Each structure stands twice: as structure tokens, then as C-alpha cells.
Amino acid sequence: MASYNFQKEVKVYVVYSNTKYSIDVSSIDFDQTFAEKSYNQRTLHYQKNLFEASIINKANPATFGFTMPLLKDTDLKIVFDLLVDYQTTQINLKSFDLYIETGTDVFKLEECVITNGSFAIEKSRPLSLTVSGEASKMSFFGAVGSVTIPGSAYSRAAALRYMANPELAVTLNSQSFKNIVSVSLELQNNIKWNPYTTVHNALTATNAATSMYPSTYVLTKRILSGSIRAYVTSEKRTGELAPQAWDSLAPLVIQTGKDIGAGFRGITFNGNCTFTNRVTTGDVYTQNYDWRLIDNPSQLSSILSYTTGA
């Protein structure tokens, strides 16, 4: 009887710099498509050839996405580092290989790049990070038991320490926020794959293995942005923080995690931003501060950091 692959059995591994990291995910999706071009077969002598033929010799970039918890320990910090940090030698993102193991099979994604990271900041849920990205090539690596995922295993902590019911502190233009409804924080890494189609490779592509796959990319733009939603109360903020106002240069500090202050563990953003503030109506009136980072640090980790430890 055939064995099936189930989402609930999935194990995910990030392999970077010869180290294999086991990543706890609540869900994962991945995919890659091939580009097809069709051409007309109908001629003067073959009027009935109404169905077009096709050429398939090129693969589009693969895509992937998963959600993982942000722990107090360093077990999963590699994903945050790959989202935020530049390569050592150039202003480009670090790439890695991703392996997805089910109860039956192992799939591989090569030259992965994280293009989006969204932090879930909710008092009722543990702190988590959802990432999505692109990769050069997706392939079937082999059956479980017949292949070995490369890399030295990263040592995991004995017990998982989630940041449930995370604390939250927000300061904008040196004013502390109260009556916060929600906070969002998202990083976008816009990349562009270099042209990878050539006449020679197109002629030699006869199957999936010999198809043309993207191999190199450049980072073209980064956007770090989010919003702060708070109730409109009788205690109004003044100046640029007043309802229906804006500011093109304002320091913003967001901390979310556990034990804010001494012994803090979690996510910290500390940079200058531009923002607009708009009032929204409903059963209870709220105001949304939609902000975007305008600083250009040499390393983004100096502004957006993930603190772990005992």
C-alpha cells in the first residue's frame, strides 16, 4: 500500500555554513513552476493542426513560506539572522538550503533567500515570525532513510521556552504609548534574479534536470514598516502625535517579548521613521500610526534585534 506525505509530519531543516538547524514550524508551503512557451503548428498544408506545440526549458524561481515561534533561546535565531543580516563581503542577503522531510520523502530547495518577514505581536498568542522567500531550484532529494541531509546538527535546548503573552512597550517621539490595540512589524527584502536564459542552455535543456534555473540575485530595496493602533481617548496626544497628523522624522522604539527591562528576551526595533496618523471609526474609535524606517544602518541588526538567552 502506498504511503502518503502529511503536513503534520513535516520536519524542516535550514542548512547554512555547513550547520544543520532543525526549525519548528506550524505550517510550511513550497512550490516551483516551469515556464512554457507555445507556438503555432497550423500551416497551409496542415490546416487541422489547431493545437499549439510547446517549449519548456526554463524554471521560475521556487517559492516557500513557513511560520515559526520566537523562543527565548537561540534554537531558531538563524532564521531571523538570515532575514535581517547582509553577507559579509557585499550588500546582499545570505542564502541557504532548505530541506523538508515528511514521513516518507525529503525535498530540497537550493539557494533560498528570505524576501519577507512578519512578526506576530499579539497578547493572546506566543511571539512568532512568518517568513516567505524564493529559491533557485526545488527538487526531490530522496526517500527518508536513503539520503542524509548535510551539515553538523545545531544543538537544541533541552526544553522549548516560548514567549507566550508577550509584553509590549512602544515609544514614539519620546512619548510612551498607552491604550494600544495592536502593533505590526514587517520587513520586505526586494530581490531580482539575474537573467539566466541563454541560447546554448535552451538548446541543451531536454528535461527538468537540464532546464535553466535562476542562480544569482541582487538585493534592490528594503522596507521595514508597520503600524501602531491605539484607542482615541480623552487623553489626547499633542503635536505630530495628535490625531490626523504626520511626521517625516520621528524616533520609534518597539519592544516585545518577556521581562522588558533587565533580563529582556524578544524583539527590539529602535530607529527613525516617517509616519502618518489617521482616525478610524467603529464601535470604539481608534487611530493608526502607519510608520516606515528611513535610517540606513550598515547592518540592519543594529536597529532590529532579537535578544535570546537564559
Domain ranges of the chain: 7-36+52-307
CB atoms within 10 A of CB 261: 8
Cα 217 from Cα 135, distance rounded (Å): 10
Give the residue among 146, 175, 163 at the shortest CA–CA distance from 239: 175
Between CA 37 and CA 223 the distance in angstroms is 34
pLDDT in tens, 263-306: 899 999 999 999 999 988 888 998 899 999 999 998 999 999 99
pTM exceeding the 0.75 threshold for the entire prediction:
yes
DSSP string, 168-187: EEEEETTEE--SEEEEEEEE
Each residue of 26-56: pLDDT tens digit?
Answer: 889 999 998 888 778 788 788 888 787 777 7
- What pLDDT, in 10s, does the model give residues 88-130? 877 899 999 999 999 999 999 999 999 999 998 988 889 999 9
Of the candidates 74, 66, 85, 81, which has an alpha carbon nearest to the alpha carbon of residue 24? 66
DSSP labels for 196-239?
A: ---HHHHHH--SSTTSB----EEEEEEEEEEEEEEE--SS---G
d(CA 185, CA 109): 27
pLDDT at residue number 301: 93
Length of the chain, in residues: 310
